[in-house]
Amino acid sequence: MREPLNKSLSVLAVPAFNDNYLWLIHDGRHAAVVDPGDAQPILAALAAHDLILVAILLTHHHADHVGGVQTLLRHFDIPVFGPAGEDIAGVSQKLSEGDTAVVPQLGVTLSVLEVPGHTSGHIAYVAHGQPWLFCGDTLFAGGCGRLFEGSPAQMVDSLGKLSSLPGDTQVYCAHEYTVANLRFALAVEPDNPDLVARMASEQAKRARQQATVPSTIALEIATNPFLRYRQPAIVASLQASGRIDGRQSDPVEAFAALREWKNNFK
């Protein structure tokens, strides 16, 4: 059972760099920012919406997620939540699995999940009272992050945690990679009707210069190959392409082969 919705809260997307989304959770007055890789777009959004920043939430140490922290701290004396398993300058509250990040000015609490794979200490935040997941670069719309520091087994476990969330959970990932991810997904599972329909929908959004995120957990389960790597059609594609042995049945090896295929997909 979820807590009652706090209907006064909303999430604002702040575009940055070429394809990042920085997320502002706000109530019309106070705001918390997730993964501020660049301070200037956040400062501009705060000014445009007359918001006061009261907290920073970090998922992992990559520069496009933490690069704006020090500048923001020069403007605001606020807590910085981040993963206990990574050394990130400015973090004042280090979080592990089962911990919570509490932002009293917003009346919001977020549970922490450890989701290593993309980086060794990556965490995700699940909001209480709202169907919101802030997952950094672990789960993408239609894809998942590269395994820069973790193992395939770790990423399989991490994605399993996220896919077990309620189906209506909104997936606030950090990049606009969706159409490229779905192009790969269609190469792997071309006869998935949900995937075909999703590609058409997401391409139409991009043609209108609209964001394709947030997604939902239910949509990811239906169309994301990195949550569907056990499906017979995907296993058959891996076998037909010679990426796994026809007799192989180990799911982690199948996932690893799928991720390697995506790494080199054009």
- pLDDT over 90 at 4, yes or no: no
Does 87 appear as a known binding residue?
no
CA gap 252, 194 in Å, rounded: 24
* Catalytic positions: 60, 62, 64-65, 118, 137, 175
pLDDT above 90 as % of the chain: 94
Which residue has 């520069």 as its token pair? Answer: 63
Q: What's the whole-number average pLDDT of the chain?
A: 95
Determine whether 242 is exposed, middle or buried from the number of CB atoms within 10 Å of its CB (0-12, 13-18, 19+): exposed
Does 175 appear as a known binding residue?
yes
pLDDT at res. 247: 72
For 177-202, write each residue's pLDDT tens digit: 999 999 999 999 999 999 999 999 99
Residue 221: count of CB within 10 angstroms of its CB = 14
Does 118 appear as a known binding residue?
yes
Cα 233 to Cα 126, 180, 182, 230, distances in angstroms: 31, 20, 16, 9
Contact 212, 206 (CB under 8 A): yes
Does 60 appear as a known binding residue?
yes
pLDDT at res. 171: 98
Using omega within 30 degrees of 0 as the cis cutoff, is the peptide bond preceding 214 cis?
yes
Name the strands in the sheet holding 10-16, side by side, starting at the edge strand that comes first in the sequence: 10-16, 20-26, 30-34, 52-57, 80-83, 93-95
Instruction: Read off the tokens for 53.
Output: 């920043």
- pLDDT grade, residue 69 (50/70/90)? very high
- pLDDT over 50 at 1, yes or no: no
CA gap 115, 150 in Å, rounded: 10
CA atoms within 13 A on the CB side of 41: 21
What is the DSSP-derived secondary structure letter of residue 55?
E
Q: What size, in residues, is the chain?
A: 266
Question: Side chain identity at 175, as an amino acid letter?
Answer: H
CA gap 261, 266 in Å, rounded: 10
**Distant-in-sequence, close-in-space partners of 191: CB < 8 Å, separation ≥ 6:** 233
| DSSP per-residue letters across 150-192 | S-HHHHHHHHHHHHTS-TT-EEEESB--HHHHHHHHHHH-TT-
Does 27 appear as a known binding residue?
no
For 213-248, write each residue's pLDDT tens digit: 999 999 999 999 999 999 999 999 999 999 998 776
- pLDDT over 50 at 2, yes or no: no
What value does the mean pLDDT take over residues 13-40? Answer: 97
For 85-99, write each residue's pLDDT tens digit: 999 999 999 999 999
30: β partners: 52
Does 77 appear as a known binding residue?
no
pLDDT at res. 7: 55
